[in-house]
Structure 1
C-alpha cells in the first residue's frame, strides 16, 4: 500500500556520524516524503550541518531539538513523531548508515496493523578512521570493517519468507524500525518516564504488541550499518528495566507520560 512517509533520525552530539547518515539519505533509490532530525540536545555544529543539507534534498528536512538535560531520547522522539506529516514513520539512529534501498524496502512491506524491524550491521572501531576520511556510505556483505556479515546480505526475494508475529522479537532494534503514526499515538508514543540509556525502544514496541499490532522482520532487506561508539552510561538501566517489566506484567497498551502532550502543539524548537 502507498503511504506518505516520514524518516525520523534521532541524534545526540555526533555530527560527524550524522553527516554520513544524511549522505546515505541522499543516496536512496526512493526518498521518503520528509526527513526529521530529532536532536536530543542543542549542538551548533549539528544545526549548521543540517542547514547545509537542506538545499541538497528535494524533500523537506526538519530539525527538532531541545535543551540538553541528559539522555531524553523518549522525549525528542515523541516531539518528532507528533511533528511528522507522514502517516508512516521510518525510524533510525543518527549513527546508522542506510543501505541504498533502505526506504524502498520499508515502504515495500507497509501493511496496516503491522510494525517492521530490519537488520543492523556493525562497523568496527578500527575502521572508523577510514570510514570518516573516505566518507564511505556504501557497504555490502563483503565490505571491509564490518562484522555479522550475514546481516548485510541483500536478497529481497528471501524477505518474503518472514511472516508477522504476535510477540516481540529479540531481534527488534529501535535504530531500524517503522510503524504507522496512528499506532504510535494509540499507545501514547514513547514512555518519557524512561530516561537514561536502555529499554525506551523495546518498551514502546511491547505496548504496540499488547495493542495487537503485529511485528514483521525485514531480513535480507531494510539494512543499516551501525557506526561503532563507546557505550553510553547504563546507570538508569535497572529503573528502566522495572518500567518495562511492569508493561509486560500488566500487558499495558498506554503510558501516562507520553506523546499526547505534544499533539496539536508546537512547543519544540524547529529549524
Structure 2
C-alpha cells in the first residue's frame, strides 16, 4: 500500500437505519483520512432516505448515498452504481456487519493491484447482537469477548474465531494458507480490477452466489488472484434469519462457469451506455 491510495467503503444497505448508524459510527471512530463511505441502498423507504440525508454532515468522512427503487432484490445493480461513484480502492461490506477497529487499515495495508483481498466475519448470537449500540461499536468484540465465547460454547454464534486479530506474520500466513471463496460482506480490490470483469452481474436477483462466488470466478479468469486476510480486517455480523437462497442463482452461476467468460455484458458498462 502507498499513502496515496484513497478507498471507498461500500456498504450494501436496505432499511435497517439503526444498524447503519452503528456501522457508520464504527467507521468514523477509525477514520484516518484514507476513505469515504458509499451507501449502496437497494430501495429503502422514504423516511430512511430522509434520515440518511440528515446524517451526511455527522461524520469525518464524506458520505455518499446512492438509492434505487425497491423492485425486489437488486443488490448487484446498486453495487455497480457504487463502483462508478467510488475511489480507486473498494472495500465491500454489508449494513449488518460492524467493522472492528482496524477493518479499513488492514484492507489498505494489504492492498495489491491484481489481488482481491478475502476477509471474514464473526457471527454473533441473537442475545449478544441485541447489546450492540453506538458506544464504541468498533471495539465491541474485544469488550464483550467473554460473553461471546460463553454463547459460542452453547452453540450460539458462528465463526467466532474470525473476530480475533492476529498480527504476527508467521501465524497469520499459516492460518491463511488454504484457498477459500470470497464473501460479499468482506472483500476488497482496486477499482480497475473489478472493471476488468465489468463489475457485478445484474441478472442475479436473490441473495448469495451472485455477489461473491460469481465475482470471484470471473476475477480469477481475468487473472486477479485471491488473497486471504482472515484474522485481520475483522467484522462482527449481527444476528438475523438467513435470506432465502434461489435455485435460479445456482442455475445462472452454472451457465457462467460453462461459458468461462470473465467479462459480463450485464454489468457496469451497460449502465454507462
TM range (shorter): 0.7 to 0.9
Contact 2:132–2:140 (8 Å) recurs in 1: no
CA distance 1:143–1:37, change in 2 (3 Å): farther
CA distance 1:246–1:164, change in 2 (3 Å): farther
CA distance 1:168–1:153, change in 2 (3 Å): closer
Q: Is 1:208 aligned to 2:241, yes or no?
A: no
Contact 1:164–1:215 (8 Å) recurs in 2: no
The DSSP-based 3-state class of the residue aligned with 2:217 is helix
1:144 maps to which residue? Answer: 147
Summarize the alignment of residues 92-107 of structure 1 with structure 2, pairs less than 5 Å apart.
Answer: 92-107=93-108
2:195 maps to which residue? Answer: 185
Q: Is 1:118 aligned to 2:119, yes or no?
A: yes
The DSSP-based 3-state class of the residue aligned with 1:89 is strand
2:271 maps to which residue? Answer: 262
Contact 1:188–1:259 (8 Å) recurs in 2: yes
Counterpart among 168, 186, 194 of residue 204 in structure 2: 194
Q: CA deviation at 1:177?
A: 0.4
TM-score normalised by the chain length of structure 2: 0.86
1:245 maps to which residue? Answer: 254
Contact 1:9–1:37 (8 Å) recurs in 2: yes
Q: Which runs of 4+ in 1 moved over 4 A?
A: 132-137, 162-165
Unaligned 5+ runs, structure 1: 266-271
CA deviation vs aligned residue, 1:118-163 (integer Å, no higher than 9, x gap): 1210111122332249684423362534543311111122475169
Q: Is 1:13 aligned to 2:40, yes or no?
A: no
- Give the distance between the partners of 1:219 and 1:239, measured in 2 at CA: 30
Counterpart among 57, 62, 77 of residue 75 in structure 1: 77
CA deviation vs aligned residue, 1:18-51 (integer Å, no higher than 9, x gap): 1111111111153543110010003234323423
TM-score normalised by the chain length of structure 1: 0.87
CA distance 1:133–1:10, change in 2 (3 Å): closer
Unaligned 5+ runs, structure 2: 149-156
Query: How much is the aligned-residue C-alpha RMSD, in angstroms?
Result: 2.4
Contact 2:25–2:137 (8 Å) recurs in 1: no
The DSSP-based 3-state class of the residue aligned with 1:19 is helix
Q: Aligned residues, how many?
A: 259
Contact 2:28–2:60 (8 Å) recurs in 1: no
CA distance 1:34–1:25, change in 2 (3 Å): same
